[in-house]
Amino acid sequence: MGLRDSFVNIAKNAAAGAASSFVSGVANGLTAGLGGSTSSSASSPLQSGFGKKPAVLLYPSDVGINPRQASYILFTRHSVTGAKVKPVRSKGAKVAPVTKTDAKGNKSTDTAKTRLKQDAADDQVTADKAGTAANAGGANKNGSSTSLLLQRQNIKKTGSTIGLYMPPSVNVNYAMDYSENAEIGVMGEALYGLFKDYQDGKTDGMVDRAAGIAGSGLKKMGVGMIDKVIPGAKDLYAIESGTIMTPRTEMMFRGIGRRSFSFSFTFIPKDSTETEIVHNIIKEFKVGMTPSFKVAGSTREMTIPDVFSIQYMHLNKNNSYINKIGKCYLKTMDVTYGGDKFVTYNADAKGAPPQKTTISLAFQELEVLDRANMEDGF
């Protein structure tokens, strides 16, 4: 099977619903770039695409076809046009009026119930449109997302799809945010205990317990306050009482950390075609991660940079043994031209292309993922 035919088949399978849902987003671009043709004698996909840009940039050129390169990573760029915090309400089809019957058996339109029915129909249309937009990027099974950026109709594919060989290893870090809380004060803990006793109906002797707790608590608070002014007061209290005042802290769950992903690729082109591909790949990442300036009146603003989809692939389908990745920003990109010695190929009209180029990419996921996402393979 030729390289062109393989990527056309991805598009075909996605269109037929045979491939997984994430492939369809990539397939749209591939279908446009490949023209939907399955002829192996047609021009290479690297020579066609969106205008003058190639639709697919592959390195090495046999990635996904050669058994040694059966596993690879797809990077797809998506432009961001700005999120609408409040969706525009859409109008649904006009509903049939709701009727009511009075005591004499006369029927008339129930205006209030008809309006509620119409509102429900309008809300459903609005929700359907929002869902369609969310299907373009959300990590949840129905395409919805916890990210405001991905909840609206503002993400669309742009530029080229990049297919790169699988690095020797890839890793993902799952981090929950836990922290030791501030010291729980003696009085706070004691008063909370009294409050719980009150909730449980243990009111007998509460006044005496409160007085005892308050006295003990105030004494220790007083020692702590004196220690701040006169260092050593706590130590003297410990010597006198034979005990020490220890802080009461608890480990508390604070939230979920966003995942980050790092990749490093080394390019040593074999011919002039791969040299041009490597040059375009680097440019594609640089352009996608960078905002544009725009002038709004007397204020200079920046657009939001593009986001990237990242998929681990094996042949013509996703590799479900490796974690899925949600939409990401490309936060940093390091490019190194040359190695131990800077060597170039023969010069052309653009200059002398480096024999070796290395890039390091650091991505940050937009969404905060929960347990349902983990069960779904993220």
- The token pair at 5 is 């035919």
User: Mind listing the pLDDT tens digit for each residue in 73-109?
Assistant: 999 998 887 655 555 556 767 888 888 888 888 888 8
Domain boundary residue, one of 205, 230, 249: 249
List Cα–Cα distances, 96 to 101, 113, 245, in angstroms. Answer: 16, 11, 73
> Which comes out higher in pLDDT, residue 193 or 309?
309
**Higher-pLDDT residue of 68, 60:** 60
What's the chain's average pLDDT?
73
364 pLDDT above the threshold of 90: yes
- For residue 12, tell me if it sits in a domain: yes
What pLDDT, on a 0 to 100 scale, did the predictor assign at position 37? Answer: 32
- Which range marks the domain in which residue 127 is found? 91-153
Q: Which residue has better confidence, 255 or 158?
A: 255
Q: What pLDDT score does 332 carry?
A: 96
Q: Are residues 268 and 358 in the same domain?
A: yes
204 and 275, same domain (yes or no): no
Residue 2: band (very low, low, confident or very high) from pLDDT cuts 50, 70, 90: very low
pLDDT at 335: 97
- The per-residue pLDDT for 285 is 96
Shared domain check, 168 and 33: yes
What token pair was written down for 314? 């094996």
Lookup: tokens for 303: 């657009």
Do 331 and 285 sit in the same domain of this protein?
A: yes
User: Could you give the CA distance from residue 313 to residue 344 in angstroms, rounded to a whole number?
Assistant: 32
Which pLDDT belongs to residue 131?
47
Could you tell me if residue 201 is inside a domain? Answer: yes
Whether 298 and 318 share a structural domain: yes
Q: What mean pLDDT do residues 303-324 have?
A: 92
**351 vs 131, more confident:** 351
Amino acid present at 311:
Q
Query: How confident is the model at residue 198, as a pLDDT?
Result: 53
Give the model's confidence band at 237: pLDDT under 50 very low, under 70 low, under 90 confident, else very high. low
What are the C-alpha distances in Å from 256 to residues 139, 142, 368? 15, 21, 7
Residue 188: the pLDDT is 57
Q: Per-residue confidence at 135, pLDDT binned at 50, 70, 90?
A: very low
Which residues partner with 107 through β-bridges? 101
In this prediction the pTM is 0.64
Task: Say yes or no: 121 and 207 in one domain.
Answer: no
Rounded to whole angstroms, what are the CA distances from 171 to 59, 166, 266, 365? 21, 12, 18, 14
Is residue 52 in a domain?
Answer: yes
- pLDDT, tens digit, for every residue of 171-222? 998 989 888 765 555 555 555 555 566 556 555 555 455 555 545 554 555 5
Taking the C-alpha atoms of residue 29 and residue 21, their distance in angstroms, rounded to an integer, is 14
Q: At what angle do helices 206-229 and 233-241 cross, to 10 degrees?
A: 130
Q: Report yes or no on 254 lying in a domain.
A: no
> According to the model, what pLDDT value does residue 20 have?
35
232 and 309 inside one domain: no
- The more confident residue out of 167 and 222 is 167
Judge whether residue 119 has pLDDT over 90. Answer: no
Asked if the model's pLDDT at residue 283 lies above 80, the reply is yes
Is residue 290 one of the residues assigned to a domain? yes
295 and 160 part of one domain: yes
40 within domain boundaries: yes
Q: What is the pLDDT of residue 289?
A: 94
Compute, in degrees rounded to 10, the torsion defined by CA atoms 153, 159, 160, 164. Answer: -80
Lowest mean pLDDT among 24-33, 81-90, 138-147, 195-204: 24-33
DSSP assignment of 6-63, as one string? Answer: HHHHHHHHHHHT-S-HHHHHHHHHHHHHHTT---TTSPPGGG-SSTTS-SEEEESTTT
pLDDT value for 51: 39
Q: Give the end of a domain, one of 249, 276, 308.
A: 249
Q: Which residues contact 154 (CB under 8 A, 6 or more apart)?
A: 80, 81, 82, 83, 84, 133
Give CB contacts under 8 A, 24+ apart, made by 124-131.
124/92, 125/90, 125/91, 125/92, 126/87, 126/88, 126/89, 126/90, 129/87, 129/90, 129/153, 130/87
On whether both 165 and 144 belong to a single domain, the answer is no
18-to-56, 87, 147, 189, 199 alpha-carbon distances in Å: 21, 33, 28, 59, 58
Residue 313: predicted pLDDT = 94
| 42 and 164 both lie in a single domain | yes
Q: Same domain for 291 and 361?
A: yes
Dump the DSSP string for 281-348.
HHHHHHHHH---EEEETTEEEEPPPPEEEEEEEETTEE-TTS-----EEEEEEEEEE-SSS--B----
Query: Which parts of 164-205 fold into alpha helices (H)?
Result: 186-199
**Domain count across the chain:** 3
In a domain, 334, yes or no: yes
Structure tokens at 57: 């940039």
Residue of 179 and 130 predicted with greater confidence: 179
- The verdict on whether omega for the bond into residue 168 sits within 30 degrees of 0, i.e. cis, is no
Residues 70 and 217 in one domain: no
Q: Say if 339 falls within a structural domain.
A: yes
Helix axes 206-229, 186-199, angle to 10 degrees: 160
CB 278 within 8 A of CB 59: yes
pLDDT at 311 over 80: yes
The answer to whether 131 touches 98, Cβ cutoff 8 Å, is: no
Determine the pLDDT at residue 230: 61
**Neighbour-count burial for 343-355, b at 16+ CB within 10 Å, e otherwise:** eeeeeeeeeebbb
Tokens of 350: 């653009």
Q: Which residue has the higher pLDDT, 348 or 36?
A: 348
**Averaged pLDDT, 124-148:** 63
Which residue is it, tokens 């131990």? 340
